[in-house]
Every structure is written in structure tokens, then in C-alpha cells.
Structure 1
Amino acid sequence: TWPTMRITQLNRECLLHLFSFLDKNSRKSLAKTCHKMLEVFQDPLLWALLNFHSPVELKKDNFLLGPALKYLSICWHSQRVKVCNIEDWMKNTFQKDFCNRHENTVNDFLLEVCNRCPNLLSLTLSGCGHVTDDCILLLLKNCPNLKTLKLENCVRITDHTLEAVTLYGRSLQTLHVDFCRNITQTGLERVREKCPSVMLRAERITKDPVPMPALGAL
């Protein structure tokens, strides 16, 4: 018979490989079993990729944020996103209370990324209705190696983000701004003009409003 081997007898490389197949909660649970597992959990090599599926997940302590992070995705595919997408002045009290509970969560998290993850290569945000232009601008400034920026259904993103791309997106190769209703064709054309090498995609972007004729012209 084969000799019995405990998981703690595996070397660091094997344990890291094992941990890489686990989700964040499972990694955290295993880290609580002994000091050796905790050390593996805290190894930066384990945290080059982070995927989140709701703002609530950003507040958990089941992951590490640091310079090793290369790929970050925050995608909230929920009916609740529709509430976030309502203009503030149109929201009722219930809708405002709902948004107040999480409206700063993603922005605050991305500010942490700005401060702690300078080697970020790729960022994907979907359904993040409270993310602002200022936050993306800071991220472009602080993560100079960012190659991919994909924004989908982020209603507070405007042409100011596109302007930031032309100023600070020196390494950017791919830019998606799908279903971001406050992006204009004028802003997109400016990116195409200033950054011709960037692969730009913008699905379901409304046309720029046609200016009303002057009264004297009627």
C-alpha cells in the first residue's frame, strides 16, 4: 500500500498549485487550519487574478490586495443594477436608501487598487453604476502598465474618462465602453484621433444630441 501523506507535507509549489483551483472562500477556510496553510494563503503569487460578482464581495477578508495583482474583474449582473442606473434626481426614497448602502464601495476599493496594485494589467467593470470618472482617472495615473480597460453598463462614466485615456493611458491597448450611456460619439472620435493604436469598442452608445436651431433661424 502507498504510504499516507498529509496535505501539509506537500511542498510550497504544490500547495500554491492546489490553492489556485480554490475559490476565495475555500482558500480562506483552508488558511485557518494551520500556520503553513496561512502562509500559502498570504503568498502574493496566489493573488495575480481577482474576480468579484457583487459589491458585497469587496468587503470580505477572503483575499489579498497587493503589487502581484495583474487582472481584476468586478461584474455585477443583477436586476438591482437597474436601480443604480436611475438618475439620482429621479430616485425615490427607497431607491436612494438602497444605493446609499453601497454607492462608495467600488470606488473605495478601486482607490485601494490605485495605492497598492501598480502592476495591474487589466480591469473589467460591469454593472458598476456608481463608479466615477475621477476614480478611473486615478487608476490610469497609478497603474501605468494597464493594457486593457473594459467598462460595461457603468452609467456615471462620461467623456472625461475618455479624455483621461488620451492623457494617461500610455500602455492601453484595448478599451471597451459598452452600454455606458453618457459616453458620446464626440468623445470616442477623440480617442480614435489621439490613440489610434487602441482597439476601441463602444456598443449601444447613443448618438450625440442634435443642437436645436437658433430662434432666429426658425
Structure 2
Amino acid sequence: MHITQLNRECLLHLFSFLDKDSRLSLSLTCLHLRDVFLEPGLWPLLRFHSPGELNKCNFLLGASLRYLSICWYSSRVKVCNIEDWMKTTFQKDICSRHEGLVSAFLARVCKTCPNLTSLTLAGCGHITDDDVVGVLRSCAALRRLRLENCVRITDTLLHGIVTYGSALRTVQIDFCRNVTQAGLQVVASQRPAIQLSADRSAGMIPDCLPQDSPRDRRLRLSQLREAPRTVRGTLRGTGSGTV
């Protein structure tokens, strides 16, 4: 029996075992298999391992998408994490090749994936608070948000979680250096139903301005080290999520 003689249900089951590239390759063999590739129900989960993958045509965004993960673990992430005013011309050139890719992709998600329930972003050094808040506003069913090593994320997102994340149940913000204990406390106090965790985020040295002196940075770090003790005591009293 030829593969095209299988019914649609069997073909969808077959496609479900293939990765994105294999699905695309198979879909290019005939119109019948291309039609199966374009079935929205085939794409409830998408995982990407670099921003460059977001420009490929080997996947489909649609209302069936429930789980989205963009995790970039590369040495280039270290370059993205350098504060813009400190980057060399060479480093800026590296970032210019991909800095808008994830933001543009999330904008597409906002328009086409209203039923998204889980979003994971790791190593996405160029996404901003507005990018993630946009997803919160457009995807009202989002229940799980995980951010790791996203250096441009600040307390503005935490306020957005309080305002727009009505369905959120789990929020994990790890190694995001511009998030503060005060911002985490806002979420913990105003949205106690959320299971909140933040590994190292509020204890890292935040971005500084070009005019900041080494003394200013040391002072800010000492303030950060003092803040967690006060906030943790408050959290124990409220019985909210772990911070």
C-alpha cells in the first residue's frame, strides 16, 4: 500500500511522530501530504532551539498551538546579554542579525494563537516586557510562563502579569537580572494563586547606565542583597509562591 492511500487520520498519526523538518520534506512529495502538513491540529506543540529556526517554513502557527518553547543555549547568548552601550561594533553586528526575530515571532503568535497555554523563553536576550505582555493580552488562556536568562525583562512585565495574566497558575523567572524583589512581591501579594519562583533573578547585578561609577554598582548590589531577607519574610506571612 502506498502512503497516500492511508486515510487522513492515519496520516496525521504518522506525521505526529516526525520532527518539523521531516514533516516538511514529506509534505513536498505531493499535494495530498501537503494538505496533511497544513492541518492545524497537527501543531499543538512547537519547540525551537535558536532564533534562526523561527524564519523557517517547516511549521504552522494556528489556533491549535498550546505549548511554545524557544530555548537558545549558545555562546552567542553571552553577547546578547551585554548591555548595549558596552558592546563593541563587532558584538553589535552579531546581535543585529537576530535581535528582532523572537519579538517578531511573538507578535505573530499574538495574532494567530489565542489558545496558547504554555510559553517558555530561554536565552532570548532581546525580547522586551512589551513582547511578553502582548502575549498575555492576546492569549487569555495562558497558564504557564517560564523565562530564563532574558536580560531585558524588568518589573514592568511583573505588573503586566498582575494586570493581564488572569489565567496564569505558574510563573518562573530565572536569571533575569533586571527583575527586582519588589516587583516579585507585587505578584506574590496581588496574585497569591500563582505559583511564583525566581531563581537568582533578584539577586543579580542589574544593568547600569554609562555614567554609573563602580561605587554606584557596589551600592546597588548591596541593596539587592539586603532586600531578599525582608521580602522573603513577607512572603512567608502571605503563604504565596516561592521566590
For 1:201 and 1:143, locate their aligned partners in 2 and report how far apart those are by CA, in whole Å.
22
Letter in 2 for 1:120: L
Question: 1:119-138, aligned counterparts within 5 Å?
Answer: 119-138=115-134
Instruction: Describe the superposition over 1:22-70 as per-residue Cα deviations: whole angstroms up to 9, x where unpaired.
Output: 1111100000111110011000010110000000000001111111111
SS of 1:206 mapped into structure 2: helix
SS of 2:202 mapped into structure 1: coil
Q: 1:94 aligns with which of 63, 73, 90?
A: 90
Aligned to 1:19: 15
1:195 has 2:202 as partner: no
For 1:121 and 1:206, locate their aligned partners in 2 and report how far apart those are by CA, in whole Å.
26
Aligned to 1:170: 166
Aligned to 1:116: 112
How far does residue 9 in structure 1 lie from its aligned partner after superposition?
Answer: 1.2
SS of 1:33 mapped into structure 2: coil
For 1:38 and 1:125, locate their aligned partners in 2 and report how far apart those are by CA, in whole Å.
30
How far does residue 172 in structure 1 lie from its aligned partner after superposition?
Answer: 0.2
- More helix, by proportion: 2
Instruction: Describe the superposition over 1:138-178 as per-residue Cα deviations: whole angstroms up to 9, x where unpaired.
Output: 11000000000000000000000000000000000000100
Aligned to 2:57: 61
1:51 has 2:47 as partner: yes
For 1:127 and 1:17, locate their aligned partners in 2 and report how far apart those are by CA, in whole Å.
33
- Unmatched segments (≥5 aa) in structure 2: 205-219, 225-243
Letter in 2 for 1:7: I
How far does residue 10 in structure 1 lie from its aligned partner after superposition?
Answer: 1.0
For 2:181 and 2:110, locate their aligned partners in 1 and report how far apart those are by CA, in whole Å.
29
For 2:202 and 2:115, locate their aligned partners in 1 and report how far apart those are by CA, in whole Å.
34
Q: 1:38 aligns with which of 24, 28, 34?
A: 34
CA contact (8 A) 2:176 2:202 kept: no
TM-score w.r.t. length of structure 2: 0.83
SS of 1:157 mapped into structure 2: coil
- Unmatched segments (≥5 aa) in structure 1: 212-218
TM-score w.r.t. length of structure 1: 0.93
For 1:205 and 1:53, locate their aligned partners in 2 and report how far apart those are by CA, in whole Å.
22
